[in-house]
């Protein structure tokens, strides 16, 4: 899927959900933590989720203090961070996955701010279609 622009990304997500509504289907939007259990396995998981029929994939950006998350996501986030996963490495995973379905990042605000003022532009260039911020 081509890297989305600010307009095409929101349009693509809107169209995806509109199509599902027309088909009277619910969206399948699985979540993975980037880099867990390993970066390579994350790529395999994204490809497998797409092949299994996911409509959108939500990719979590690991964060050192994920207090709003439950114990499973906290543990996966800590494990990914221990392997060196960062905001930019998460973007590299999304880019390398080359999926034909939209990817939405789920992140705390802190990693986005720490990634710098052009973090969202870099995310769009990597193929991210939206960002959910906690």
Residues classed as catalytic = 58, 69
Number of neighbouring beta carbons within 10 Å of residue 66: 21
- The CA-based angle 83-88-89, given to 5 degrees, is 35
Q: Is 106 left (phi over 0), alpha (psi -120 to 50) or beta?
A: beta
Q: How far is residue 109's CA from residue 52's CA, in Å, rounded to a whole number?
A: 31
What are all long-range contacts of 40-48, with beta carbons under 8 Å and residues at least 24 apart? 42/93, 43/93, 43/96, 43/97, 46/93, 46/97, 46/99, 46/103, 47/97, 47/99
């Amino acid at each position: 899927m081509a890297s989305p622009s600010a307009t095409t990304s929101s349009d693509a997500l809107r169209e995806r959900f509109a199509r599902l509504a027309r088909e009277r289907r619910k969206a399948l939007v699985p979540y993975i933590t980037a880099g867990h259990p390993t970066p390579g396995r994350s790529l395999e998981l994204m490809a497998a989720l797409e092949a299994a029929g996911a409509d959108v994939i939500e990719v979590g950006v690991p964060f050192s203090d994920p207090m709003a998350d439950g114990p499973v996501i906290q543990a996966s986030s800590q494990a990914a961070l221990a392997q060196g996963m960062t905001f930019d490495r998460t973007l590299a995973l999304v880019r390398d996955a080359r999926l034909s379905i939209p990817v939405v990042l789920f992140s705390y605000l802190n990693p986005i701010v720490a990634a710098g003022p052009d973090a969202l532009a870099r995310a769009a260039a990597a193929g991210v279609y939206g960002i959910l911020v906690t």
